[in-house]
Amino acid sequence: MTYGDQYKGFVDKHNLPPREFTPENKVRLVPGGSSVRRGAHVAPGVIIMPPAYVNTGAYVDEGSMIDSHALVGSCAQIGKNVHLSAGVQIGGVLEPVGLTPVVIEDDCFIGAGAVVVEGILVKRRAVIAPGVVLSKSVPVYDCVNEKVLGKGTAIPEGAVVVPGTRPVGQPWADSQGLSAYCPLIIKYRDEGSDASLVLEDALR
């Protein structure tokens, strides 16, 4: 099969082809429509479930898992032993445009459908529940320490973040019972939190 036959029907900037993996790379790329662009680093022990997409400049460290329909955006940094669940969107510096990459540190768990964009830093061992959206425009409420994290502030180490709401703070909106979305830190990881994630390792 020639280069032209292999990539027939695909058009990319400068005709940049996807990365190819061999058993020597020690990356488990399950067949079914995933693509890793050239210029992305995928370390040994990474598992990529179909369909998933890793954009150029991204860095995915050892032992991490990228589940189905997950996106690792351009120049995003994913640490060791991170689980990106199905439908997770990790923004890059190109989509949406940002000056700093999203960084997910080691041993984090990012739940299904979560979105992390605009250069947000998620510190090690944090758990982001399904459906959470983290961006610089939305403050995070730490219910444990009873404080509001500034917009764009890093998610603390070991934090467990869930979707929440807060009053809009405008008279008409409040009279209508309207609320705005916000992420809530409801606890920090403990033995119970760790036990709930053990099954994942057993299934790999």
Output the pLDDT for position 169.
87
Cα 43 to the center of its chain, rounded Å: 17
Would you list the domain boundaries of the chain? 11-203
Give residue-wise pLDDT tens across range 75-93.
999 999 999 999 999 999 9
% of the chain with per-residue pLDDT over 70 = 85
Q: What's the chain's average pLDDT?
A: 89
Q: Nearest-CA neighbor of 136 among 96, 89, 176, 84?
A: 96
Give residue-wise pLDDT tens across range 118-143.
999 999 999 999 999 999 989 999 99
Output the pLDDT for position 105.
98
- Band (pLDDT 50/70/90 cuts) for residue 19 is confident
Q: Nearest-CA neighbor of 160 among 100, 92, 114?
A: 114
Q: Nearest-CA neighbor of 115 among 183, 165, 173?
A: 183
CATH superfamily of domain region 11-203: Hexapeptide repeat proteins (2.160.10.10)
pTM for the whole thing? Answer: 0.88
